[in-house]
Amino acid sequence: MKHLAGAVIAALMGSAAMAADPGVTDTEIRIGDVNIMTGPASFIGRAVSIGSKIAADEINAAGGVNGRKITIVTEDDGYIPARSFQALTKLLEVDEIFALNGTSGTANVLAMMPLIEENNLPTIVSTAPNELVYDPVRPSVFTLGASYSDAFYAQLKYIHENTQPENPVYGLIRQDDDFGLAVEHGYERAVKDFGVKDGGIVRFKKGTSNFAAEMIQMRAAGVNVLANGGIISGAANILSEARKLGMPLESAQVWSEDMPLSVNLAAQAGYDYYVGDYVALTGDDYDAFVEKAKQYVTADDIAAMNRYTLVTYAALHAMAEAMGQCGQDLTRACTVENLRKLKDFEVGGIMAPISFDNDKQLSGTAIAVYQLDAASKTFTRKTDFADY
Amino acid sequence: MDLFLLFVSTGLVIGASYGLIAMGFALVYKATGVVNFAHGELVMLTAYVAFSLTQAFDLSFIPLMLVTIPISMLIGLALERIFIRPMLGEPVFSIVMVTIGLAVILRGVTMMIWGPDPHNLTAGVTTRVIMIGHLPFYAAQLMSIAALAICTALAWAFLRFSRIGIAMRAVAAHETAALLVGISVKRIHAIAWALSAALAAVAGVLFAMNFKLAPDLWFQGLKSFPAVILGGLDAILGSAMAGLIIGLIENLSQGYIGQGLRETSGFIVIIVVLMVRPYGLFGDKDIERV
């Protein structure tokens, strides 16, 4: 009788726990995605959604998470933090999501943080791996991705050790915001560690198109190794000015510059620039991923894929792994606990294995350096994934 | 000295873009008394129209402009007819608010049609570097400066010698008096919008050729506003000249002082001009501010 009562109480507690955590039924798990689906940065949001779709379809085709199919519920925030908060409120209260796997930009995820913490929402931040997200650590938040600082350090290290330009003078051009500051940290660390000449740091406002004066300053300083902190059109315009001024350059770039649309803009300047990224841009594993993706998304989606597709795909697989380890009694607390224990989780070689079992609940920090061939618009991998 | 000349030459390039955009602002203001806050968006929209034309028909620069300019004028006419004409007789403030609303609509429509991706726009123009003395230029940069010179000359001739240009000056001087002597004010307003859209097309295409085509191109309208204020809101030729001055100020301040001063120097000029000479360097003293 005692055993029976215990079993009944345990069963009631179990169902109460399940009832307490929304977004899970016997057949479905709803995962939220707050994303940039409109506005100038919506190509990122689309790529993120494609990554989620590929991962969800693949997991569902293999039987789901302990028999439950994953459903992705996407809300657009237009890259506006206030709208991110509204979007997550809607996902929590109307769609009743179980976890979150799309978090827009840094300011956006920070805007959503009170809701994430209040609901103990299992969350993987994969598109804004900023220090502000993982320091201080929030119990249910896991971050996937390297810092801009390490990405630039990795590239400058490669340039320093392998290309050895004559009379090297390093220079940095960067945005006057938190992102630019992170780039500057990597640059300063590199200049200090390698003992190279610092030609100077030039800061510019976000949205600047005309970099003529900045690049004239760089040329006057004799800069021939450039840490280019411009993004997309900005990065391309910086290289275009450098070309006009006849500057021989080894250029380190932000990882956004490995996206096809960025390459199309910047390759015109003719520089075989570098990028440091925590996802694979080339190789057998990347090719295998693309082949797999073709089973689940359209040709248009394949064309719109970029690095954000890969990182979001990896993040959803990590989330599914943590949920799967909970068995049938799937709760947010259990998922968070399992994410915290996740170690060396393989994601098909498209990035280094994922491990959140560290103080910062941070993974994917290993960076590979790639070099563009501007003529063919293709990248060659120059280093393995490594932490810097 | 080389450094100074480099700053000046590149300042003239961006200044030419500002000048072309500022002329469009001034043209509509001169004829209608309204600041068209959607002009930057018109610059963006017409550049995207040109981009589609190059994609569809692989047009080189001159044929491209010969097609884009009339299409842009039609767009300008349509916008005036649909959004501005019904507002005739309403307070200027209301019309200005309509142009602000129009700006938001145009941004949304552009994004909806062409998407968020930035593009290269070369229109068959060489991307080789051209040296003039020791100064390097891209062909499209020289074309911007040339386009400003040509548009300024055409605007001067139009306002000085053509019947419509003289009528436009009459409407600007006194709308009621112009009406009484038989000038169709509505027609003049429509023509001003069409010509302003033509200037927007020239400015937009050349800006996109020099600095890429992206959905944030509309922001150049705001960046050009210091030139409109410096030249004088109603001074079409003065705005062109002021564009060059603002471009030079921006580049020299960024080059010699730095610290992102390029982005603020133009607006410092606005404040100083409004305090010292509120009608601008070339504007009429009695213009009405909005």
User: pLDDT digits over B163-181, tens only?
Assistant: 999 998 888 888 888 889 8
Across the interface, of A233, A246, A265, the residue whose CB is closest to B136 is: A246
E runs forming strands in chain B: 129-132, 135-138
Judged by CB atoms closer than 8 Å, whether chains meet at B116 and A40 is answered as yes
Residue A207 contacts B where some CB pair is shorter than 8 Å: yes
With b for 16 or more beta-carbon neighbours within 10 A and e for fewer, the B158-177 pattern comes to bbeeeeebebbbbbbeebee
User: pLDDT digits over B49-89, tens only?
Assistant: 999 999 999 999 999 999 999 999 999 999 999 999 998 87
Sign of the torsion formed by the C-alpha atoms of B102, B104, B105 and B111: positive
Could you tell me which chain A residue has the CA closest to the CA of B6? A216
Residue A246 contacts B where some CB pair is shorter than 8 Å: yes
Q: Which domains does chain B have, with CATH numbers?
A: 2-276 (1.10.3470)
Query: Strand, coil or helix: what is B33?
Result: coil
pLDDT at A4: 47
Contact A323, A336 (CB under 8 A): no
What is the least distance, in Å, from the CA of A242 to any CA of chain B? 11
Going by C-alpha positions, the residue among B51, B44, B80, B43 that lies closest to residue B67 is B51
Tell me: pLDDT of B217 over 80: yes
pLDDT at B113: 93
Contact B35, B290 (CB under 8 A): yes
DSSP B85-147: GGGTTS-HHHHHHHHHHHHHHHHHHHHHHH-S--B---TT---SEEEETTEEEEHHHHHHHHH
Q: Identify the CATH class of A2-146+283-357.
A: alpha beta
What is the radius of gyration, based on Cα positions, of chain B?
A: 18
Asked, colleague to colleague, whether A2-146+283-357 and A148-277+369-381 share their fold, the answer is yes
B212 interaction partners in chain A (CB closer than 8 Å): 209, 233, 236-237, 265
Q: Residue B282's pLDDT band (boundaries 50, 70, 90)?
A: confident
Across the interface, of B127, B255, B260, the residue whose CB is closest to A217 is: B255
**What are residue B177's phi and psi, to 5 degrees?**
-60, -40
Judged by CB atoms closer than 8 Å, whether chains meet at A216 and B3 is answered as yes
Contact A84, A112 (CB under 8 A): yes
Mutate to test the interface with B, among A35, A37, A233, A264 (most CBs of B within 10 A): A233
| Higher pLDDT among residues B265 and A55, named by residue | A55
Instruction: Report the alpha-carbon distance of residue A45 to residue A309 in Å, rounded.
Output: 9
Residue B99 contacts A where some CB pair is shorter than 8 Å: no
Judged by CB atoms closer than 8 Å, whether chains meet at A212 and B10 is answered as yes
Judged by CB atoms closer than 8 Å, whether chains meet at B116 and A233 is answered as no
Tell me the domain boundaries of chain A: 2-146+283-357, 148-277+369-381
Residue A306 contacts B where some CB pair is shorter than 8 Å: no
Residue A324 contacts B where some CB pair is shorter than 8 Å: no
User: pLDDT digits over B184-193, tens only?
Assistant: 999 999 999 9
Residue B8 contacts A where some CB pair is shorter than 8 Å: no
Structure tokens at A175: 């945005």
- Is the bond into A136 cis (omega within 30 degrees of 0)? yes
What is the least distance, in Å, from the CA of B157 to any CA of chain A? 32
Judged by CB atoms closer than 8 Å, whether chains meet at B255 and A244 is answered as no
Could you tell me which chain A residue has the CA closest to the CA of B223? A208
pLDDT at B169: 86
Instruction: Report the alpha-carbon distance of residue A383 to residue A163 in Å, rounded.
Output: 13
Residues near A298 by beta carbon (within 8 Å), at least 6 away in sequence: none
Contact A234, A208 (CB under 8 A): yes
Q: For tokens 């955009």, what's the residue?
A: B21
Contact A283, A381 (CB under 8 A): yes
What is the least distance, in Å, from the CA of B151 to any CA of chain A? 23
Is CATH 3.30.390.50 what the domain over A148-277+369-381 is classified as, yes or no? no
pLDDT in tens, chain A (388 residues): 445 454 444 444 444 444 458 999 999 999 999 999 987 788 889 999 999 999 999 999 999 999 999 999 999 998 899 999 999 999 999 999 999 998 988 889 999 999 999 999 999 998 888 888 999 999 999 999 999 999 999 999 999 999 988 889 999 999 888 888 989 999 999 999 999 999 999 999 888 899 999 999 999 999 999 999 998 899 999 999 999 999 999 999 999 999 998 999 999 999 999 999 999 999 999 999 999 999 999 999 999 999 999 999 999 999 999 999 999 999 999 999 999 999 999 999 999 999 999 999 999 899 999 999 999 999 999 999 999 9
Judged by CB atoms closer than 8 Å, whether chains meet at A213 and B254 is answered as yes
Residue A205 contacts B where some CB pair is shorter than 8 Å: yes
pLDDT at A15: 45
Across the interface, of A43, A216, A244, the residue whose CB is closest to B138 is: A244
